């Protein structure tokens, strides 16, 4: 029972990270039909940028600011402006392929420009465990969960409570009508890319102390984020949220109870079943173009 509870908490913590990446993924998909195959690399990179800035000699707090700013500028604004915008008229597939090339590019650049070895990343929360319902669970897991959920709730509040957020939602649901109603559609799309970058940034700072900062981290996280987004529903934020937690839990439970060698296969089996049985995702709306 103790082990089970620990696994649940760990699963919710990883799930929260996956949810952050998956929500950003669905946001850019909704507003600009971008399937970002580099999403995992987006989560890997900010930590590397911070460490690079620190390596140059900046104090840690300044490195965090410089790394974050550089990341948001390059992969929020730059990604939208210089990759997605020119590619969009060619359709979904060429853009998706461009993001695949981008993912290889980021990964190899991180490997050669920074380090091929896993690097220690400073944790914002002290290591240790706390007692929870009689079981010792990792304090870091709880912190990850709390921070990620707070970020998601903040985003949700922004989208539903503020005028800008609602306009952004309108853009996501129907860009044409939004444009007719006077919504600055381009600015709203840019905003979703900035939010995507910010979510990736948070996920990166949360996960890197645990997994260590390494160029190949994006592979696992990216895969999990796709699966979470599709399983939950490609066109729903709450779908991506639910999918993230589900995949996080399945991932951790499968490693313990099914087979550690095949832990990566279990979420994939779930993915294939969902795609074949309910392609719009567990919480998704039906979209004509999906089938």
Partner 1 sequence: MSLKLNTDLLIILIAFPILWFAPAGLKSYGLYVVSLWLVMSIAAMGLNLTLGYAGLTSLAQGAFLGIGAYATAILTVKAGWPLPAAFLVSTGLSFLVGVVLGFPALRVKHHYLAFVTLAFSVVVFLIARNEQWLTGGVFGLANIPRPTLFGTDLGGGLAFYRVVLVVTLALTLVMWWLLHSPWGRAFQAIRENGTRAASLGVDIRAYTLLAFAIGSAFGGAAGALYAPLVEFIDPSPFALSASFVLLLTVVAGGAGSFFGPFVGAFFSYMLPELLRATGGWYLIIYAAVVLVLVMVSPTGLLGLIDRWRDHQSQRKAAAIRAAARPTLANGAETNPKEQGAAS
Number of residues that bind partner 1 (CB under 8 A): 41
Q: Does 261 bind partner 1 (CB under 8 A)?
A: yes
Nearer to partner 1, 108 or 117 (CB): 108
Q: How far is CA 115 from CA 102, 168, 215, in A?
A: 19, 38, 8
Select the span of 52-60, 107-115, 126-134, 174-182 touching partner 1 (CB under 8 A).
107-115
Cβ distance to partner 1 smaller for residue 90 or 187: 90
Closest CA to 233 of 190, 175, 273, 283: 283
Least CB distance from residue 261 to partner 1, whole Å? Answer: 4
| Contact criterion met (CB below 8 Å) for 70 and 49 | yes
Range in contact with partner 1 (rule: CB under 8 A) among 103-111, 122-130, 145-153, 156-164: 103-111
Q: How far is residue 243's CA from residue 249's CA, in Å, rounded to a whole number? A: 10
Site stretch for partner 1 (CB under 8 A), options 99-107, 143-151, 157-165, 237-245: 99-107
Q: Which stretch binds partner 1 (CB under 8 A): 49-57, 154-162, 187-195, 271-279?
A: 271-279
Q: Which residue in 77, 256, 279, 282 binds partner 1 (CB under 8 A)?
A: 279
Does 212 participate in binding partner 1 (rule CB under 8 A)?
Answer: no
Q: Which is nearer to partner 1, 84 or 195 (CB)?
A: 84
Q: Does 93 bind partner 1 (CB under 8 A)?
A: yes
Q: Which of 255, 190, 266 is nearest to 227 (CA)?
A: 266
If the CB atoms of residues 36 and 167 are measured against partner 1, the closer one turns out to be 36
Task: Pick one of 2, 65, 73, 90: the residue that binds partner 1 (CB under 8 A).
Answer: 90
Query: Does 246 interact with partner 1 (rule: CB under 8 A)?
Result: no
Q: x-or-dash pattern for partner 1, window 26-65, by CB under 8 A? A: ---------x------------------------------
Q: Which residues bind partner 1 (CB under 8 A)?
A: 35, 83, 86-87, 90-94, 96-98, 100-105, 108-109, 111-112, 219, 223, 226-227, 230, 261-262, 264-265, 268-269, 271-272, 275-276, 279, 289-291
């Amino acid at each position: 029972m103790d082990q089970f509870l620990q696994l649940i908490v760990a699963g919710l913590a990883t799930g929260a990270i996956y949810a952050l990446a998956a929500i950003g993924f669905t946001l850019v998909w909704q507003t600009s039909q971008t399937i970002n195959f580099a999403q995992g690399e987006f989560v890997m990179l900010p930590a590397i940028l911070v460490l690079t800035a620190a390596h140059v000699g900046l104090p840690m707090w300044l490195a965090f600011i410089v790394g974050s700013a550089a990341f948001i500028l390059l992969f929020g604004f730059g990604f939208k402006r210089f990759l997605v915008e020119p590619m969009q008229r060619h359709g979904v597939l060429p853009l998706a392929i461009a993001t695949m090339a981008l993912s290889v590019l980021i990964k190899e650049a991180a490997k050669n420009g920074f380090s091929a070895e896993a690097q220690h990343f400073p944790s914002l929360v002290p290591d240790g465990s706390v007692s929870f319902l009689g079981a010792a669970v990792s304090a870091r897991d709880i912190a990850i969960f709390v921070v990620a959920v707070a970020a998601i709730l903040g985003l949700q509040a922004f989208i539903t409570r503020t005028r800008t957020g609602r306009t952004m939602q309108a853009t996501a649901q129907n860009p044409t009508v939004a444009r007719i109603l006077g919504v600055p559609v381009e600015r709203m799309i840019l905003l979703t890319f900035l939010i995507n970058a910010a979510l990736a940034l948070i996920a990166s700072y949360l996960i890197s102390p645990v997994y260590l900062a390494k160029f190949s981290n994006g592979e696992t996280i990216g895969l999990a984020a796709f699966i979470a987004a599709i399983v939950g529903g490609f066109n729903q934020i709450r779908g991506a949220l639910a999918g993230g937690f589900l995949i996080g839990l399945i991932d951790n439970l499968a490693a313990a109870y099914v087979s550690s060698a095949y832990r990566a296969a279990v979420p994939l089996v779930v993915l294939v079943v969902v795609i074949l049985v309910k392609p719009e995702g567990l919480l998704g709306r039906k979209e004509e173009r999906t089938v």
